[in-house]
Amino acid sequence: MELHKSVQDYLEHHQSWKKELVLLRDLLKETELEECVKWGAPCYTINGKNVVGMAAFKEYCGLWFHQGVFLKDNDKVLINAQEGTTKALRQWRFKNFEDIDVAKVRAYVAEAIANQKAGKEMKAVKAKKVEMPAELSDELQSDSALESAFNQLTPGKQREYAEHIGSAKQEKTRLSRLEKCIPMILSGVGLNDKYK
């Protein structure tokens, strides 16, 4: 994923969605929200809190409401892209310029701003403890350099490795996955870093 330093840079990079993104940006800039770039994409905040983000992909562009779970969504336009994983974030996807109903976008953004001002916020849930598969645990105990590298990873990255290795049904597969993960752990990278 390419990280952009400015909103203008983001718009220029997404030429196929530029017309839609410019309209959405204009609607967001009409509000009291402050424009910035976070995670390489446009983000709109109030009092330092994320309210809505804007993004473009191959098939669609859209708005990301950071506390969208609290929106009424009378028009049933919001989706949870990762049901069971994503708690608060809701997306509104647009597949073409005509999909963008200006009045509805304004209403949803106004409600999101009001919710943020009212303090409606779903707090992040503390991550569960890492369940260590026996194969990984044994390898860490026998290799101090690997154990040190693993312990320097964030709990999220540790969990990714543990779940990836431990989710294989056969021991042979768990050992194969472990073997492939060792160089990555020693390099200090997460299992899914290349996708982030």
Rounded Cα–Cα distance for residues 135 and 177 (Å): 10
Q: What is the pLDDT of residue 5?
A: 78
Is the CATH code 3.90.1150.200 the one for domain 7-117? yes
Q: What strands, in cross-sheet order, belong to the sheet with 49-56?
A: 34-38, 41-46, 49-56, 61-65, 90-94
The answer to whether the predicted template modeling score (pTM) of the entire model surpasses 0.85 is: no
What one-character-per-residue DSSP string does 90-157 give? EEEEESSGGG--HHHHHHHHHHHHHHHHTT--PPPPPPPPP---HHHHHHHHH-HHHHHHHHHS-HHH
| Phi–psi pair at 50, nearest 5 degrees | -70, 130
Residue with tokens 């009001």: 114
| In the chain, % of residues over pLDDT 90 | 76
Mean pLDDT of 176-186: 94
Residue 164 has pLDDT above 90, yes or no: yes
DSSP code of residue 190: -
Could you tell me where in the chain the CATH 3.90.1150.200 domains are found? 7-117
pLDDT band at 192 (very low <50, low <70, confident <90, very high): confident
Tell me if 146 sits within 8 A of 185, measured CB to CB. Answer: yes
Give 7 or 101, the one with higher predicted confidence.
Answer: 101
Mean pLDDT of 162-180: 93
Q: What is the pLDDT of residue 2?
A: 54
Mean pLDDT of 175-196: 87
Report pLDDT digits (tens) over 120-142.
Answer: 988 776 666 778 899 999 999 99
Report pLDDT digits (tens) over 56-114.
Answer: 999 999 999 999 999 999 999 999 988 777 889 999 999 999 999 999 999 999 999 99
Q: What is the pLDDT of residue 126?
A: 63
- At 67 the three-state DSSP class reads coil
Rg (CA), the chain: 21
